[in-house]
Amino acid sequence: MFLGKVVGTVWSTKKTPDLEGVRFLIVHPYDLDKEPTKNIVVVADRLGAGVGEVVMCAYGKAARTAIGNQEMAIEAAVVGIVDRMDMQDTVSDEAREAARELRGKDNGE
């Protein structure tokens, strides 16, 4: 799972039949410093999240389970709308470095 901020919506009038009626959002993921990454992710949303809200998202099977259809052609979905985040200011340097390495792999670096 990952946390991110909803920065927009996606409108598609032509799509596969299993995606009819599904709302899609553009989410900007956060890293461990609560800073946005360089990536964006298009996620399915059945919870009604809005632009500016922080959301929890899942990938793969967990995303399809949250939407309610294992056969649906989605890769990511909103699984929660965040009310509050509490995070220690002292995240270890090792955790920060691990997050940077993971981001680099996601970007093909």
In the chain, where are the structural domains located?
2-106
Residue with tokens 């920065």: 7
Q: What's the pLDDT score for residue 68?
A: 84
pTM beyond 0.95: no
> Which residues contact residue 68 at a Cβ distance below 8 angstroms, ignoring those fewer than 6 apart?
46
User: What average pLDDT does range 80-102 have in this prediction?
Assistant: 69
Long-range contacts at 4-7 (CB < 8 A, ≥ 24 apart): 4/28, 4/29, 4/30, 4/36, 4/41, 4/54, 4/55, 4/57, 5/30, 5/36, 5/52, 5/53, 5/54, 5/55, 6/49, 6/50, 6/51, 6/52, 6/53, 6/54, 6/55, 7/40, 7/51
Q: What's the pLDDT score for residue 71?
A: 81
Q: What's the pLDDT score for residue 69?
A: 80
3-state secondary structure (DSSP) of residue 19: helix
Q: What is the pLDDT of residues 9-62, one digit of tens each?
A: 999 988 888 888 889 999 998 876 666 667 899 999 999 999 999 999 999 999
Q: What's the pLDDT score for residue 24?
A: 95
- What does CATH list as the number for 2-106? 2.40.50.220
User: What average pLDDT does range 78-86 have in this prediction?
Assistant: 86
